[in-house]
Structure 1
Amino acid sequence: MTSRRVRTLAIVTLAVVLPLGVVAVVRAGDDGGGTARPVAAPTASATASPVPTDATVIMPGRPGESATSRAAGEITDTGAVPHNYMDVWFVRMMIPHHAQALQMAELAPDRAADPDIRAIAARIRASQGPEMGFMRGWLQNRNLPAEVEGHDHGTMRGMQTPEALARLAAARGADFDRLFVQMMTAHHQGAIELATDLLTVGADQTLNEFANSVATEQTVEIGRMHELLAR
C-alpha cells in the first residue's frame, strides 16, 4: 500500500470517528510553552473522558466563604446529590429565620452601647446574608418554591413576636444590649434546634455540613453574648 493511500484512509477514518466525540481544549498547567492543548472527549463507545490531573477546577466555597481552586485530579464525580423532605423543610424554614436575625442585627449600629455587641451584630449580618443566598439558590436549582403555603413562620422555634421586635427597636444603650442578647440567644437556640433536626434525618451532604456550621457558629455566638453581659 502506498503512502498516499495510507494518508487517504486515515482521513476517511477520522471523518467517521470524529463526529462521535467532541474535541475540547483544556488549559493545562505547565506544558512547557503555556499553550492550550486539545484533548479528545469520549466517543460513543467510551465510558469516561480522561481529565488532565494538572488542570485547575474552581470549587465554590461554603456559605460566606470564597471559592477555591483545586487540581482536577483531586475532584471525583459524586453524581446527583439526593435530598429528602427534611432537607427542603429545613431550607424553607431557615430562610425566614435568618431574615429575622438580620432584622434584629440591623438595629444594633444605631442603638447598641457596647461596641462588642455591634461587632457581633455585624458578624451576623456578614454571615447570614450570604447564607440566605445559598439556601435560596439550593431551592432554585431544584425548581422548588421558597414559600410554604399557609405556614406561619412566627411559630418557629426562636422566632420573636412583632411586639418583642418593636421593644428592641425602641430600646437604646444598655437596655438595647440586654434585650438584644436575650432575644438573639433565644433566636439562635431555635436555629440550633432546626439544624440538629436536619443532622438527624437529612440526606443532602452539603446541607448537613451547612447545618453543622450553623449549630457550631451560633453556639459560639451565644457564649460570646453572655460573656459580654457578665462583664
Structure 2
Amino acid sequence: MLIPSRRPHAVGAALLAALLLTAGCDSGARGTGAKEHGTAGTVVAPGKPGEPAKRLSPEQAAKAVPDNRPNSADLAYAEMMIVHHRQALRMTRLAGEHAHSDAVERIARRIAASQQPEIEAMQGWLESNGASGSTGGHMHMDMPGMATEAQLERLEDARGEAFDDLFLKLMITHHQGAVTMATDVLSRGRNVRIAEMATDLIAQQTREMSRMRAL
C-alpha cells in the first residue's frame, strides 16, 4: 500500500518561510533603490529544482502560500478519529484478560500505547482550533471499520483462542477503516498538523495490520 506523502504540506510551509524571509531582506537591503528599479513591494519565491526564483507582488505571494486554516474535513476527521480510537482502546483492554496468545497481548498493548496519545493530541488540536471535540451518536456507524455493539459483546464473552481470532479480525477491519479515513482527509483537508497526524496513522496502522495478519 502506498503511504501518502507529506511533501505538498512541507513545500507550502517552506514557501511561506521563504516568502517572509525574502520580503524582509528586500525591504531592508534595497530601501529606496528598489523603487528606482521597479522592485519595491515584491517578494522572491524560490523556483522548483532547476528553475530560477520568481519575483511576486504581495497579492501573488499571498495566493502562492497554501491556506492552513482547518476546514470541515480536518475538524470532522479529528472528532471522528477520537471516537474511532476509543473503540480500539475498549477492544485492547479485553486482551489482557481474555487473550490466549502472548503475541496478541503484545499487539494490543502496542495499539493502546500509540492511540491514547493520539487521542490526546487530537483533543488538544480541536481545543486550540475552537472545536469541542464532541460527536453525535449518529456518527458511530458512519465511520469505516467500527465494530457493532453485538460484535463487541461477542468479543467480551470470548476467551482463549476464540478471543484471539475474533480480536484480530475486528482490529484488522478497524485499522483498515482508520486508514481509509486518514487517506480521505489527506485529499480533502488543508491543515498541516492534521495531515501529519493522518500520515503517521497510515504508516503505524499499516505496520500493525501486517503483524496481525501474520498472526
Question: Taking structure 2 as the reference length, what is the TM-score of the superposition?
Answer: 0.67
Identity %: 42
C-alpha separation in 2, matches of 1:166 and 1:125: 20
The equivalent of 2:131 in structure 1 is 144
Mapping of 1:81-160 within 5 angstroms?
Answer: 81-149=68-136, 151-160=138-147
**What is the CA-CA distance between 1:81 and the residue it aligns to?**
4.3
Q: How many Å separate the matches in 1 of 2:139 and 2:109?
A: 28
Higher helix share: 2
Matches within 5 A, 1:21-36: none
Per the TM alignment, residue 151 of structure 1 is displaced from its structure 2 partner at its CA by 2.9
Unaligned stretches of 5+ in structure 2? 1-26, 28-64
For structure 1, list consecutive stretches of 5 or more residues without a partner in the other structure. 1-46, 48-77
Deviations 1:154-196 (A, max 9, x none): 3311010111000001111110110001000110000000000
Which residue identity does 2:162 align to in structure 1?
D
The match for 2:158 is 171
Deviation of the 1:149 alpha carbon? 4.3
- The corresponding residue for 2:198 is 211
- For residues 152 and 165 of structure 1, the distance between their equivalents in structure 2, rounded to whole angstroms, comes to 17
> CA RMSD for the aligned pairs?
2.1
Q: What's the secondary structure of 1:182's corresponding residue?
A: helix
- Give the Cα separation in 2 of the matches to 1:167 and 1:218: 24
Give 1:128's aligned amino acid: Q
TM-score by length of 1: 0.62
Q: Distance in 1 between matches of 2:68 and 2:133?
A: 19
Larger Rg: 1
